[in-house]
Structure 1
Amino acid sequence: MITTNGADLASKTFDFVIAGGGTAGLTLAARLSEDPSVTVAVLEAGDNTIGEPKVRIPGQFGVTIADPKFDWTFFTKKQPLSNNRKVLWSRGKGLGGSSAINFYAWVKPPAGDVDAFEKLGNPGWNWEDYLKYSKKSETFHPPAQEQTDVYPHSYNVEYRGTSGPIQVTVPPHVYTVDNLFQETMVNLGLKAIEDAYGGNTTGTWICSSNLDPKNWTRSYAATAYLPQDRPNLAILTHALVSRIIFVDRVEGQDLTASGVEFIHNGNTHVVHARKEVILSCGVVQSPQVLELSGIGRPEILSKIGVDTKIDLPGVGENLQEHNLVATVFELNPAIKHETLDLLRDREYAQEAVRLYAEGKGMLRTGITSFAYLPISSVKSVEAENLIKQTEREIEEYKNTPGIAPGLREQLDIQLETLRDDTMPDFEITGFPGLFSLSLNPEPGKQYISLVALLNHPVSRGTIHAKTANPQDTPEIDPHYFEKDSDLENLVQQVKFMRRMVQTEPLKSGITGVEVLPGEGCTTDAQIRDYIKDNHRSAWHGIGTCSMLPREKQGVVDPQLKVYGTKNVRVVDISIVPIQIAAHTQATAYMIGEKAADLVRASHAL
C-alpha cells in the first residue's frame, strides 16, 4: 500500500518502521515484507514519482537535478578553498531516493576498497559478501546483437546476478565515442578489462546501467523492489521523520525505540515500532535525525537545544565525498556520432521520443566508458610528486592533536591503496556530450566530455543539524580541498585528460578545440582556479554514520545497530566508513540486501 493519508499509519504499530523510502530503505522494506507474518511501515518525505517521465525515461541526464519535486537541492556551506562557493548537493526526494534521479551508472568497487571495511573492525563486511549481496540485487542482460555488431562487448557471467530485482544491461548508441575513449586508454598503457564487476576495476572498460532492456526504462528501487500489492507493507509519502521516540531509560541499559515522530501535511504524528526503528534517510539526513533524537556529539546537541540521550561523537563526522571536474572538446564533424548534444535540437528530440516508443533511438543512452587507474600509471614526475605530497599530508594529518579516534587507521589504508599499483586513484569517464551547467552546445557541433573524479579524498567533512527543526536543512561542510593533495589529484587528472586528446584515436576524433577549461588555462595555478570554480559534487557522500568500533568514533556496529540502542539501525550509504572508488548506487542496494539478512537473523525470521 502506497498512501498519502497520514491516518493510515498514525498511531498504528508495525514490526519495523523504516524512515526513508530511498534506495536501501525500499530494498530492505521489500525483503522484510516477503514474510507475510511481518509488518513494515516506510515513511518517505518526498512524493510518489513512480511513472514520471523524467524519472522513467533514460537519456535525459540532469532533468531532475535542482527540481524540488525530485531533488532535495541541498547546498554546502561556503567552501573557502573553492573560491567561497556553495556547492549543490543533489539528493533524490521521493520513492526510490537517489536511485530515481541518478545517471544510471552501475559500478562496483575494487575488492580492496570493500575489504577495507573489514580491516577497520567490521567482520563479514568484505568483498566476498559484497559480491554475494550485489548479485542478489541484479539481473544482468548481455548486450544485444545490435550492440555486438558494432562494438566487441565482453562480460563474465560469474560476476553478474541473474535473478535480482534491478535490471542491468549495457545501453546502446554511443559506440563511436566509446571506441575513441577505450582505444586511447589502451594506447596510453591501460589494460582493457573483460568485466569490471569481479573486484578488479583498474583499467578501461564498458560500464553497465540500471536500465531494463525489455522496455528501456530506469530500473530502480521504487519499481523493481516494490511489490504491486503486499498487505503487510505500508508506505506513506510526504512524511518527514523528525525524531526517534524512546521508552523511558532503564539505568545501565541501552535505549529502546518505540517508534518515530513524523510531520505530514503540517501535523505531527507518531507511528509505533514493535521490533525496530531503521533509519534510511541517507548521508545528509540520517545523522540529522539521530541528532534531533538526542544521539550525537553533546556540543552539537546543546547548541540546537536537544538533550543528549547517547553521547556518540561520530554522528555527522567522517564525511567523504567524491567531487568531479570536466574537460570538454569538440568532436571532429568528419566522423559521424550520436551524442546527447543532438537532443538539444527540437526536431531531433521529437524524433527520439517517437523512436523511444518503438524501443529504439537515443533515449536509451547511458554513460558507458570508464577508466580507473593508479597514479603510478601516469608515469610523470608530477604524478610521482603527488604520491609524495599525499604521503606527507597523511603523515602530518595522523599526527594532528585531537585527530578523531580511528581516523589514523583509515589514513593508513588510504596510503596502502595509493602505493598499490593494482588499485585505482584516478577515475575518468567519457561523457557523450557537453557536460556543463553554464554552456550550451553550439548548433551543429558535438562534444566529448572527459570527467575526472576524486576517488579517495584525504579531507574529511561533517554534516550536522543547525536547529532542532527537522524541516531546516542540516549544515553540509565537505571541507573540500582542506588537504591540498585532493586538489592536486584533480589537477593531475586534468593534465592526463589533455594527454588523452593528444593520443590516437582521440586526437583525430576531435577538432583540437578545447571548450573547457580552454586554451587560456595553461599553468597549474590556472588549472587550480578552474577546478575551484567548476568542480561539483558527484553525489557519492558516505561516512556520516560510519560503521566502525565505538571507540574509533563509530556510529553503528557490524549489525548496523546504533551504539547505545537496542533496536535502532542505520541502513543506507552513510554507514560506509571509508570511501570507495566507485559510484555508490550498487553499494546502496548491497547494503539493503545484507541488512535484510542481518535483521531477519536477529529476530529469527
Structure 2
Amino acid sequence: MPISTKVAEGIHEVDVIIAGAGTAGCVVAGRLAAADPELSTLLIEGGENNAGKEDVRNGAQLLEHLTPVSRTAIFNVGKESKALGGRAVVVPSGGLLGGGSSINIMDWLSTAVKLGYKEYTDLEDPESVNEGWERALKYSTPDGSRADAAHAYVQPLLEDGEDPNLHVLCESKVVRVLFDDNKRAVGVEYITNPAYQAQTNLTQTPNLTIKATKLVVVSAGACGTPQVLERSGVGNPSILKAVGVPVVAEVPGVGENYDDHTLIIYPFATNLGPDDTLDQCTSGSVSAQEYTNKGMIGWNGCDTHGKFRPTEEEVQALGPAFKSAWEKDYKSQPNRPLMMSATLAGFLGDHSTVPAGQYFSTAAYFAYSYSRGYLHITGPNYEDQIDFDPGYLSDKDGLDVAMNIWAYKRLPKIMRSTSMFTGELQIAHPMFPEGSAAACVNDVDSKSVVADPKYTAEDDKAIEKFIRGNVGSCWHSLGTAKMAPKEQNGVVDEKLNVYGVTGLKVIDLSIAPGMVAANTNNTAYVVGEKGAEIILAEFDAAREGQ
C-alpha cells in the first residue's frame, strides 16, 4: 500500500499498530512486514512523508530543520529554569516519517573509521590537529543523499508491491491507546494533524479510532511516548488524576528519568576557503542549486569527532565533588569519555550577526550528565501543553557545570593550535572581565603562535554565566519510559511490555535506562531491531502453542 494521509477505506482493524514512525518505529514496521507479509501492520506518523524532500536528502541543508518555522521537527518547550538563568530551553525531536534519522546531522563515528577516517590520540599535538581537523576527507553515500530509516526499512517494501498488508499513515497524531476491560491494548485513538490538514470549528472531525488484534507499539520517542502513555491512563496516578485522565495502570516511572546530551557550540573565525565550509549555503549567499552543481550539497560539514577525558591535574582543579565522581564513575574505565566534541565547518547561528567569512564550530556535549529531568502532560488532549523540565545543569553537586567549564577551556586551546584559526567569535563566547588573559582574540595571523588562554577565578565565573545562559539540547533525548523493575521506576520489562497492561510495548529511545557515549540514532536502530526480534519470536511462539 502507498503512504497515505487517510486510512484506506474498509480498514477498521489491523494486527499491529505502531504509534510513531521515527527511527525505531520504521525499523519495527519494516522487519515485521518483511518477516510475515500476511501480518497486517499500520505505522502512524504525525508528520509528513519524507520522500522527495530536498532538505531531508541533502546534508548541507541540515540547519533548516532547526529554524522556528520548520515542520520537519517537533519543538518541545521546557519550563523556565533557575539553573539556566531563567531560560526555557527548546528540545527538538524528529517530526516527520523517519523521525530523527531524517533530520539528524549524520555524524557516524564508527562508520567513518571503517571508511578511512584516521584516528588521532592527541588532539593537542599541532601536527595531528592540522592533519586531522583540516584535511579530513568528505564522505557521503554513493549518490550524495541521506540514508534514513524510512527509506531503508519501509519504502522498499511499499515500492515492490509485495507487501499489501503494510500501511503507513502520515499527518495523523496518536492521542491515546485504547484498552478493553481486561486492560489489554486493543487499538488507538488519533487525530489528523491540523498543521497539514486544516480544520475549523465547523469542519473539525471527531477523534478517529482503529483497532489492533495482536499488539500496539508506542514508538513516539522520549518526548512523545510518555505523553501517549499518560493520555492513555498509564502513569503516575497523582499526575493522571490531576489532569482528568482515568487511571488504567499505575506506573509512576512514566515521564521521569529524562536524559539528554547537553550541548554548547563554540564558533571560530578561520582562513579556510569558501568551499571548505558550509557558510555560503547556510547564510543563503549561495543557493542550494549552486551547492548541488559544486557537488557539495550532500556534505554535512561534520568531518571530525573526538572523545575527551581530563588529566589528573584538571580533575583536581575541578574540586572535591568532581574528583569524587571521577574516581567512582570514570577513573577505572579508561575508555569512558567525559566529553564528546563534533566539529562543523561553518557558523550555526544567524549569519546577519557576524561578518561574512568562513567559520569553524566545535560542539561540546557530555557523555554522561548527572542531571535528570521529567516530561508529563497537563491535560487529556493532544493539544494540551506539556510540563517539561529537561533538568539541565540541575545536579546538586554542580558536576555538569564543572564539566562544561573544563570543556570550554579545552576546546579553544585546541583550536588555537590549528593553522586555520584566526580568532574567536565573541558573540558565542564568554564575556570575560576587562583585561582578562582569557579574552577572545581576533585577526590572528595563522602563521603566528597563539598563546594558550590563562584563566582566573573571575574568568571561571564568566564561563559559568555563559554556560548557564547558552547550554541546550543535543537532540539526544531518552529515558522517559525506561526498562527497569517497576519498583525502580521502570516502565517496561525486558520484553518491552508496559507494566500493568497487556498487548502494549514501547520500542524507542525512551526505554533506555541511561545515556550512551555516542550520538543516539544508531542506538534507536538497535532498539528497533531488537524490538522487532522480540515481537516476531512471541508471535512464532503463539502460533506454535495453538
Which range, TM-score by smaller chain? 0.7 to 0.9
Matched length: 495
Q: Is the 8 A contact 1:338 1:362 kept in 2?
A: no
State the Cα distance separating 1:456 from its structure 2 match: 0.7
- Does 2:511 correspond to 1:571? no
Q: Is the 8 A contact 1:11 1:272 kept in 2?
A: no
Residue 245 of structure 1 corresponds to 178
Identify the match of residue 271 of structure 2 among 324, 332, 338: 332
Residue 146 of structure 2 corresponds to 218
CA distance in 1, matches of 2:135, 2:77: 33
State the Cα distance separating 1:519 from its structure 2 match: 7.3
Residue 475 of structure 1 corresponds to 387
State the Cα distance separating 1:344 from its structure 2 match: 4.8
Identify the match of residue 367 of structure 1 among 302, 319, 329: 302
Residue 345 of structure 2 corresponds to 432
Q: Which runs of 5+ in 2 are unaligned?
A: 198-204, 433-437, 439-458, 542-546
Identify the match of residue 456 of structure 1 among 352, 363, 368: 368
User: Which residue identity lines up with residue 52 of structure 1 in the other structure?
Assistant: K
CA distance in 2, matches of 1:438, 1:388: 41
State the Cα distance separating 1:52 from its structure 2 match: 1.0
State the Cα distance separating 1:20 from its structure 2 match: 0.5
CA distance in 1, matches of 2:286, 2:231: 50
Q: Is the 8 A contact 1:28 1:592 kept in 2?
A: yes
- Does 2:415 correspond to 1:501? yes
Residue 164 of structure 2 corresponds to 231
Q: Is the 8 A contact 1:17 1:259 kept in 2?
A: yes
CA distance in 2, matches of 1:232, 1:327: 49
Q: Is the 8 A contact 1:547 1:577 kept in 2?
A: yes
CA distance in 1, matches of 2:137, 2:218: 31
Deviation readout 1:110-149 (Å, 9 max, x if unpaired): xxxxxxxxxxxxxxxxxxxxxxxxxxxx9x9965xxxxxx
Residue 442 of structure 2 corresponds to none
TM-score computed with the length of structure 1 as normaliser: 0.75
Residue 493 of structure 2 corresponds to 557
Q: 1:206–1:556: structure 2 CA closer, same or farther, 3 Å change rule?
A: farther
Residue 464 of structure 2 corresponds to 528
State the Cα distance separating 1:598 from its structure 2 match: 0.6
State the Cα distance separating 1:584 from its structure 2 match: 0.7
Identify the match of residue 525 of structure 2 among 568, 573, 589: 589
CA distance in 2, matches of 1:312, 1:491: 38
- What's the secondary structure of 1:380's corresponding residue? helix
Report % sequence identity.
28
Deviation readout 1:230-281 (Å, 9 max, x if unpaired): 20101111211111111112xxxxx311111111264311111111100000
State the Cα distance separating 1:386 from its structure 2 match: 3.2
User: Which residue identity lines up with residue 422 of structure 1 in the other structure?
Assistant: N
Identify the match of residue 511 of structure 1 among 411, 414, 422: 422
CA distance in 2, matches of 1:537, 1:102: 13
User: Which residue identity lines up with residue 342 of structure 1 in the other structure?
Assistant: Q
Name the Cα RMSD after superposition. 3.1
Q: Is the 8 A contact 2:430 2:462 kept in 1?
A: no
Q: Is the 8 A contact 2:123 2:414 kept in 1?
A: yes
Q: Is the 8 A contact 1:329 1:515 kept in 2?
A: no
Residue 77 of structure 1 corresponds to 79
Residue 162 of structure 1 corresponds to none
Residue 492 of structure 1 corresponds to 406
CA distance in 1, matches of 2:473, 2:10: 37
Identify the match of residue 257 of structure 1 among 174, 181, 185: 185
State the Cα distance separating 1:57 from its structure 2 match: 1.4
Q: Is the 8 A contact 2:14 2:211 kept in 1?
A: yes
Deviates more, 1:263-272 or 1:473-482: 263-272
Q: Is the 8 A contact 2:106 2:300 kept in 1?
A: no
- What's the secondary structure of 2:307's corresponding residue? strand
Q: 1:13–1:56: structure 2 CA closer, same or farther, 3 Å change rule?
A: same
- Does 2:335 correspond to 1:422? yes
Deviates more, 1:446-455 or 1:221-230: 221-230
User: Which residue identity lines up with residue 278 of structure 1 in the other structure?
Assistant: V
Q: Is the 8 A contact 2:63 2:348 kept in 1?
A: no
State the Cα distance separating 1:552 from its structure 2 match: 1.2
CA distance in 1, matches of 2:495, 2:128: 39
Deviation readout 1:174-231 (Å, 9 max, x if unpaired): xxxxxxxx69705189999x9xxxxxxxxx997998x532x11111012121122420
Q: How does 1:131-150 map to 2 (within 5 A)?
A: 143=115
State the Cα distance separating 1:497 from its structure 2 match: 0.9
CA distance in 1, matches of 2:249, 2:137: 43
State the Cα distance separating 1:346 from its structure 2 match: 5.5
Residue 251 of structure 2 corresponds to 312
Residue 153 of structure 1 corresponds to 117
Q: Is the 8 A contact 2:124 2:414 kept in 1?
A: no
Q: 1:450–1:33: structure 2 CA closer, same or farther, 3 Å change rule?
A: same
User: Which residue identity lines up with residue 232 of structure 2 in the other structure?
Assistant: S
User: Which residue identity lines up with residue 420 of structure 2 in the other structure?
Assistant: G
User: Which residue identity lines up with residue 271 of structure 1 in the other structure?
Assistant: I
CA distance in 2, matches of 1:190, 1:420: 25
Q: Is the 8 A contact 2:281 2:291 kept in 1?
A: no
Q: 1:425–1:447: structure 2 CA closer, same or farther, 3 Å change rule?
A: same
State the Cα distance separating 1:465 from its structure 2 match: 0.6
Q: 1:510–1:345: structure 2 CA closer, same or farther, 3 Å change rule?
A: same
Q: 1:305–1:351: structure 2 CA closer, same or farther, 3 Å change rule?
A: closer
- Does 2:545 correspond to 1:545? no
Q: Is the 8 A contact 2:138 2:299 kept in 1?
A: no
Q: Which runs of 5+ in 1 are unaligned?
A: 109-137, 144-151, 156-181, 195-203, 250-254, 395-411
CA distance in 2, matches of 1:581, 1:440: 33
Deviation readout 1:535-581 (Å, 9 max, x if unpaired): 22111011000011122111011111111222211011111101111
Q: Is the 8 A contact 1:2 1:236 kept in 2?
A: no
State the Cα distance separating 1:325 from its structure 2 match: 0.8
CA distance in 2, matches of 1:587, 1:306: 32
Q: 1:514–1:261: structure 2 CA closer, same or farther, 3 Å change rule?
A: closer
- Does 2:32 correspond to 1:97? no
Q: 1:549–1:79: structure 2 CA closer, same or farther, 3 Å change rule?
A: same
- Does 2:123 correspond to 1:185? yes
User: Which residue identity lines up with residue 374 of structure 1 in the other structure?
Assistant: R
CA distance in 2, matches of 1:429, 1:70: 23
Q: Is the 8 A contact 1:107 1:207 kept in 2?
A: no
- What's the secondary structure of 1:30's corresponding residue? helix
CA distance in 1, matches of 2:8, 2:473: 37
- What's the secondary structure of 1:556's corresponding residue? coil
- What's the secondary structure of 1:325's corresponding residue? strand
Residue 441 of structure 2 corresponds to none
User: Which residue identity lines up with residue 84 of structure 1 in the other structure?
Assistant: G
State the Cα distance separating 1:353 from its structure 2 match: 3.5
Q: 1:207–1:416: structure 2 CA closer, same or farther, 3 Å change rule?
A: farther
Q: 1:520–1:439: structure 2 CA closer, same or farther, 3 Å change rule?
A: farther
- Does 2:26 correspond to 1:26? yes
User: Which residue identity lines up with residue 386 of structure 1 in the other structure?
Assistant: L
Q: 1:309–1:368: structure 2 CA closer, same or farther, 3 Å change rule?
A: same
Residue 276 of structure 1 corresponds to 215
TM-score computed with the length of structure 2 as normaliser: 0.83
User: Which residue identity lines up with residue 392 of structure 2 in the other structure?
Assistant: Y
CA distance in 1, matches of 2:89, 2:412: 25
Residue 446 of structure 2 corresponds to none
CA distance in 1, matches of 2:316, 2:352: 34
CA distance in 2, matches of 1:353, 1:220: 22
CA distance in 1, matches of 2:178, 2:343: 47
State the Cα distance separating 1:6 from its structure 2 match: 3.2
Deviation readout 1:336-382 (Å, 9 max, x if unpaired): 861111325656436633426xxx23543441211102233xx534x
CA distance in 1, matches of 2:166, 2:254: 30
Residue 199 of structure 1 corresponds to none
- What's the secondary structure of 1:62's corresponding residue? helix
Q: Is the 8 A contact 2:79 2:88 kept in 1?
A: yes
Q: Is the 8 A contact 1:278 1:570 kept in 2?
A: yes
